[in-house]
């Protein structure tokens, strides 16, 4: 994997040529967010739930089994999404009941309606242990006062006090936090689920969330990819105060490697934007996106001796609109800095003002023969 990264970095032009001559293929017109569905294949439906955000929808999928339907992901915990599920259940399930719910990961656009769906339709929730437990912890109300370790994490990153306060206020007032989910059935990586005529193998992704389940049907070349392989945006990969020394970008890159074992002609069913083909092009684009961020950070450290994570964030993210964006953008910046630290490309020191300051590791680039 590291060799692959190094090669790509040294030949960025080849990536650009690839993009110019090969594009992702979008074979379907997407459904509206009005409860209509698109049939991707026999017994495999695609619907869309509305989201009142810049990213205005999430895709959900329905898999027909012998005696009923399995849903994959839920949409937000809103009246709009509940109404869409009611109309889908009434109009599009060919007289069969809903039998099960699978949530790819704990984020509340994917699992926010799990408590309601499991109760309304009397079905079990299937999730990985990592996702279910993270959901249990993070859906609890924000502790008041905020624990000092959590505040110190953002202070050391250099987030100004006022923005820190606003960020915690926004988190505490988040309107989409779902009620607690009492129980689940466990999914594991490598497990095979037989649903109707198809066998789906669970492939685990990490980095965006702790144990994200993707469902891969090798026989037909179909991958329900969740947030692991979005076609036009890159998923947030962040370091948080829960695991301040984590290296989630390495886990993200490792996950891209795992997904690349899927057939080249795999039809990818992502959680946002449109169904597409072009798996290997997309994994390469996603890697290159992060490599560009690495290069940008290291390039800035040629102009200035050191920076804080907050200063680095302002280099990478020019427009942040909402206080919650600070958490995502700062966490993602920290993820890039953590990867560079672990690779020996950066060093950091805890400065007198209590902030981590990052600088280039002298000599590391020459030793490794890298061209950043």
Residues that bind Zn ion (CB under 5 A): 107, 227
Question: What count of Cα atoms within 13 Å lies in the side-chain half-sphere of residue 9?
Answer: 20
Nearer to Zn ion, 236 or 347 (CB): 236
Nearer to Zn ion, 81 or 312 (CB): 81
Q: What secondary structure does DSSP assign to 203-221, as a single string?
A: EEE-SSSTTEEEEEETTTT
Closest contact distance (angstroms) between CB of 209 and Zn ion is: 6
Closest contact distance (angstroms) between CB of 208 and Zn ion is: 6
Closest contact distance (angstroms) between CB of 104 and Zn ion is: 8
Ramachandran sector of residue 190 (left: φ over 0; alpha: ψ -120 to 50; beta: rest):
left
Nearer to Zn ion, 65 or 189 (CB): 189
Strand spans (E) along 141-221: 185-187, 192-195, 198-205, 212-217
User: Is 230 within 8 Å of 275 (Cβ atoms)?
Assistant: no
Closest contact distance (angstroms) between CB of 212 and Zn ion is: 8
- Which distant-in-sequence residues (6+ apart) come within 8 Å of 209 by Cβ? 105, 106, 107, 130, 131, 134, 227
- How many angstroms separate the Cα of 371 from the Cα of each of 6, 306, 361? 8, 20, 14
The pair phi, psi for residue 118, each rounded to 5°, is -65, -35
Structure tokens, 93:
């399930």
- Which distant-in-sequence residues (6+ apart) come within 8 Å of 357 by Cβ? 306, 307, 308, 348, 349, 350, 351
- Which distant-in-sequence residues (6+ apart) come within 8 Å of 232 by Cβ? 273
Nearer to Zn ion, 170 or 295 (CB): 170
Question: In this chain, which residue has its C-beta nearest to Zn ion?
Answer: 107
Nearer to Zn ion, 107 or 282 (CB): 107
Closest contact distance (angstroms) between CB of 45 and Zn ion is: 21
User: Is 268 within 8 Å of 215 (Cβ atoms)?
Assistant: no
Closest contact distance (angstroms) between CB of 187 and Zn ion is: 16
Closest contact distance (angstroms) between CB of 235 and Zn ion is: 6
Residue 239: name the closest of 205, 208, 285 by CA. 208
Closest contact distance (angstroms) between CB of 242 and Zn ion is: 16
Nearer to Zn ion, 238 or 281 (CB): 238
**CA pair distance 11, 80, nearest whole angstrom:** 47
Nearer to Zn ion, 25 or 56 (CB): 56
Nearer to Zn ion, 107 or 336 (CB): 107
Closest contact distance (angstroms) between CB of 95 and Zn ion is: 33
Nearer to Zn ion, 15 or 231 (CB): 231
How many residues appear in the chain?
372
Burial class (CB in 10 A: 0-12, 13-18, 19+), 114: buried
């Amino acid at each position: 994997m590291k060799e692959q990264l190094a090669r790509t970095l040294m030949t960025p032009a080849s990536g650009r040529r690839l993009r110019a001559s090969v594009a992702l293929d979008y074979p379907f017109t997407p459904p509206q967010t009005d409860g209509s569905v698109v049939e991707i294949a026999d017994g495999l439906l695609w619907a869309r739930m509305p989201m009142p955000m810049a990213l205005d929808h999430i895709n959900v999928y329905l898999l027909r089994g012998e005696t009923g339907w399995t849903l994959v992901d839920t949409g937000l915990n809103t009246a709009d999404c509940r109404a869409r599920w009611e109309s889908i259940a009434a109009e599009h399930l060919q007289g069969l009941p809903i039998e099960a719910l699978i949530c790819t990961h704990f984020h509340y656009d994917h699992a926010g309606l799990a408590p309601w769906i499991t109760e309304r339709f009397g079905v079990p929730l299937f999730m990985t242990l990592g996702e279910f437990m993270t959901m249990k912890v993070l859906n609890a109300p924000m502790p008041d006062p905020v624990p000092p370790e959590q505040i110190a994490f953002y202070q050391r990153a250099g987030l100004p006090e006022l923005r820190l306060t606003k960020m915690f206020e926004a988190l505490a007032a988040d309107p989409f936090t779902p009620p607690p989910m009492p129980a689940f059935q466990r999914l594991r990586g490598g497990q095979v689920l037989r649903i109707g005529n198809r066998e789906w193998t669970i492939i685990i992704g990490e980095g965006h969330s702790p144990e994200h389940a993707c469902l891969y049907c090798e026989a037909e070349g179909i991958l329900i990819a969740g947030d692991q392989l979005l076609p036009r945006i890159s998923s947030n990969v962040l370091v948080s105060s829960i695991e301040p020394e984590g290296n989630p970008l390495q886990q993200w890159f490792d996950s891209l490697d795992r997904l690349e074992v899927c057939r080249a002609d795999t039809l990818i069913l992502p959680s946002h934007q449109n169904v597409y083909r072009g798996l290997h092009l997309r994994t390469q684009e996603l890697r290159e996106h992060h490599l560009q961020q690495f290069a940008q950070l290291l390039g800035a450290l040629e102009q200035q001796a050191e920076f804080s994570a907050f200063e680095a964030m302002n280099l990478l993210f020019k427009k942040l609109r909402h206080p919650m964006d600070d958490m995502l953008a700062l966490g993602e910046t920290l993820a890039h800095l953590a990867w560079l630290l672990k690779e020996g490309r950066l060093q950091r020191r805890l400065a007198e003002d209590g902030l981590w300051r990052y600088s280039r590791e002298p000599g590391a680039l020459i030793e490794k023969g890298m061209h950043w």
